[in-house]
């Protein structure tokens, strides 16, 4: 069967699972994959409060992703600028500024995390890990949608498999400590704030992955993919958080909680595999963020010049972003970047994305389909 866009009908994987895998790819990043974000936003509320916050964040992700996908289909938006032109009108400029700040922050975090992994796992200078990540992101971002989506697919299989093995090993080695941690009667103060804050700055991933919307064949596809996206993105985090409780509250002070837990397992081979998985998670997150910028520029280039943005140009843009942003990792540490930068972005995106989507976006969907204007 041929789709409306003139290509073979997308597979069920592209329509239903790929958006969730892509969403997970964008948000998992340095802080999630290493456990640092989980320690920052969820551990302060205790074991059960942290889980409640994670479930709240999952619900927010699914709701906002569903509405985002529906509005993108209704307006024909395939990149973040077109989407916010439809949602905010001339206010799209505010989002563009905030998104640039977001890209600078997350790529700096990814660079810092890759450097920390290289040093902790292999005894290499941090700059080696940062440069290796830069090379990988630039390589995949150069070749556009097909390359990026292939990365999302295979890294997702690796990631879910590694987290499943990690859970089994953790339960085998210190399952009694996990049970004891959850058996404690501890305050759950701030769980709602933690869940909303974490969800708010990460939900931007639903806009970053808008190129995958082209695979949807109906609004039903958009709804199913949006509802699935939240759980697909959060399940690995819940697994890791549960394992962290075995060493709560001391683990909250660790820069790399993942490395700490792997040390407790005492399995060098799995330690290596897990660190490789984290590096791949950084790779897919960074690639997704850079690819969104490339797609935004590609559309503007096509409107202005009537030409396709070539691979050399995509490579040049990717390298320029990576050099600028990841070199910040040499100046600021991972913990400081997450604690200070992400909270501010959470409130910004809540104000210029989530709230407008739940009000103006829903009203736009209620009125019916209207294409967004072509803007440069």
Looking up residue 45, the CATH number of its domain turns out to be: 1.20.1740.10
Reported as a single tens digit per residue, the pLDDT across 308-361 is 888 888 999 888 888 877 766 556 555 455 556 667 777 888 889 999 999 999
Confirm whether 345 is domain-assigned.
yes
Considering its fold, how many domains does the chain have in total?
Answer: 1
Confirm whether 142 is domain-assigned.
yes
Confirm whether 19 is domain-assigned.
yes
Kindly state the average pLDDT of the residues 4-15. 73
Confirm whether 4 is domain-assigned.
no
Confirm whether 373 is domain-assigned.
no
Kindly state the average pLDDT of the residues 32-45. 86
Domain encompassing residue 248: 12-358
Confirm whether 97 is domain-assigned.
yes
Q: Is the pLDDT of residue 292 over 50?
A: yes
Q: Report the alpha-carbon distance of residue 286 to residue 133 in Å, rounded.
A: 9
Q: What is the pLDDT of residue 175?
A: 92
Q: What is the pLDDT of residue 122?
A: 80
Confirm whether 247 is domain-assigned.
yes
Q: How is residue 337 written in tokens? A: 């970047």
Kindly state the average pLDDT of the residues 17-34. 83
Output b/e per residue, 186-219; b: 16+ Cβ within 10 A.
eebebbeebbbbbbbbbbbbbbbbbbbbbbbbee
Confirm whether 369 is domain-assigned.
no
Map residue 2 onto helix, strand or coil: strand
pTM, to two decimals: 0.85
């Amino acid at each position: 069967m041929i789709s409306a866009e003139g290509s073979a009908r997308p597979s069920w994987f592209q329509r239903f699972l790929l958006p969730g895998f892509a969403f997970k790819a964008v948000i998992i990043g340095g802080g999630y994959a290493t456990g640092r974000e989980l320690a920052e936003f969820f551990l302060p509320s205790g074991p059960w409060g942290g889980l409640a916050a994670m479930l709240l964040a999952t619900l927010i992700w699914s709701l906002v992703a569903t509405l985002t996908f529906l509005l993108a289909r209704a307006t024909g938006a395939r990149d973040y600028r077109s989407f916010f032109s439809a949602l905010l009108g001339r206010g799209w400029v505010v989002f563009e500024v905030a998104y640039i700040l977001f890209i600078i922050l997350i790529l700096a975090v990814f660079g810092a995390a890759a450097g920390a992994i290289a040093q902790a796992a292999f005894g290499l200078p941090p700059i080696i890990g940062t440069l290796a990540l830069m090379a990988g992101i630039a390589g995949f971002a150069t070749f556009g949608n097909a390359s990026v989506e292939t990365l999302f697919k295979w890294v997702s299989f690796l990631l879910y498999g590694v987290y499943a093995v990690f859970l089994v090993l953790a339960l085998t080695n210190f399952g009694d400590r996990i049970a004891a941690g959850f058996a404690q009667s501890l305050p759950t103060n701030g769980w709602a704030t933690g869940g909303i804050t974490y969800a708010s700055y990460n939900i931007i991933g639903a806009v970053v992955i808008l190129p995958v919307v082209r695979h949807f064949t109906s609004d039903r596809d958009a709804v199913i993919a949006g509802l699935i996206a939240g759980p697909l993105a959060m399940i690995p985090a819940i697994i890791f958080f549960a394992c962290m409780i075995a060493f709560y509250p001391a683990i909250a002070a660790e820069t790399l909680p993942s490395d700490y837990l792997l040390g407790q397992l005492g399995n060098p081979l799995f330690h290596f595999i897990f660190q490789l998985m984290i590096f791949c998670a950084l790779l897919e997150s960074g690639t997704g963020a850079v690819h969104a910028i490339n797609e935004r520029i590609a559309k503007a280039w096509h409107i202005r010049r009537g030409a396709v943005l070539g691979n050399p140009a995509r490579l040049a843009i990717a390298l320029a972003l990576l050099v600028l942003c990841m070199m910040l990792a040499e100046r600021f540490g991972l913990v400081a970047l997450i604690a200070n930068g992400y909270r501010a972005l959470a409130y910004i995106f809540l104000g210029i994305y989530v709230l407008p989507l739940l009000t103006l976006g829903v009203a736009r969907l209620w009125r019916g389909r209207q294409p967004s204007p072509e803007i440069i």
